[in-house]
Chain A
Amino acid sequence: GAVVSQHPSRVICKSGTSVKIECRSLDFQATTMFWYRQFPKQSLMLMATSNEGSKATYEQGVEKDKFLINHASLTLSTLTVTSAHPEDSSFYICSAKLDRIYGYTFGSGTRLTVV
């Protein structure tokens, strides 16, 4: 089946540094990638939608300058958390759209801890 590989699975970084999270579609081309954020014991909240070769669309309230999304190829989308702060600590999940019937496939998530 369609697999999205997400790395790293866990990362700890110092406040003020930047962290890059990668999502690769292994056996299909992901035209559209969604990035979600999940706080402990809460639901997934959509942060942004990225389409290959174009600028990402951010949801209201999401700082586009803090959460940089790049989708330069059909198999790779990245989320960079810039100048990370402790409040950015969260679980980040990417999801690639397959088609309207089969829905989506998800990466395994990245737990970011900013200290």
Chain B
Amino acid sequence: AQTVTQSQPEMSVQEAETVTLSCTYDTSESNYYLFWYKQPPSRQMILVIRQEAYKQQNATENRFSVNFQKAAKSFSLKISDSQLGDTAMYFCAFMKQTGANNLFFGTGTRLTVIP
């Protein structure tokens, strides 16, 4: 079974500063995908960034980057130059490459960007 753990229920960051959200996962799969989703107050789930496990290079999307440590089963999200619009719940998610292809979500981290 796959489990995804987010150990930080809540975090805050000053506007324009950098913050890192942590995520660890447990799986026996060797090939899989990892995602970070954002859920703002509107409750709409928005894909922030994704990482293929077979790629060693960390994914980057503008101000968002990940630190993927496959051996440690760690997948943290770094948000640089935080903006007020980044205030949201952030969910780390795992998907197997084969077989059942639903997402397994972590418990989420509520991020507040302080002006």
| Chain A residues near B (Cβ < 8 Å) | 32, 34, 41-46, 49, 91, 93, 95, 97, 100-104, 106, 108-109, 111
Count of chain B residues with Cβ under 8 Å from any Cβ of A?
21
**Cross-chain contact B47 with A103 (CB below 8 angstroms):** yes
B59 CB to closest chain A CB, in angstroms?
A: 12
List B66-115 residues whose CB lies under 8 Å from chain A.
91, 95, 97, 100-103, 105-108, 110
Residue on B with the closest CB to A42?
B107
Q: Quick one: which of B35, B44, B91 contacts A103, CB cutoff 8 A?
A: B35
**Cross-chain contact B102 with A46 (CB below 8 angstroms):** yes
**A78–B105 alpha-carbon span in the complex (Å):** 22
Residue on B with the closest CB to A110?
B43
Tell me whether B64 is interfacial, beta carbon within 8 Å. no
| Chain B residues near A (Cβ < 8 Å) | 33, 35, 42-45, 47, 50, 52, 91, 95, 97, 100-103, 105-108, 110
**Cross-chain contact B105 with A109 (CB below 8 angstroms):** no
**A50–B43 alpha-carbon span in the complex (Å):** 22
For A111, the chain B residues whose CB sits under 8 A away are 43
For A109, the chain B residues whose CB sits under 8 A away are 43-44
**Cross-chain contact B50 with A108 (CB below 8 angstroms):** no
A87 CB to closest chain B CB, in angstroms?
A: 20
**Cross-chain contact B52 with A101 (CB below 8 angstroms):** yes
**Cross-chain contact B106 with A34 (CB below 8 angstroms):** no
**Cross-chain contact A106 with B97 (CB below 8 angstroms):** no
In addition to A100-B97, A100-B101, 9 A-B residue pairs with Cβ atoms within 8 Å of each other are A43-B107, A46-B102, A97-B101, A100-B33, A102-B50, A106-B44, A108-B43, A108-B44, A111-B43
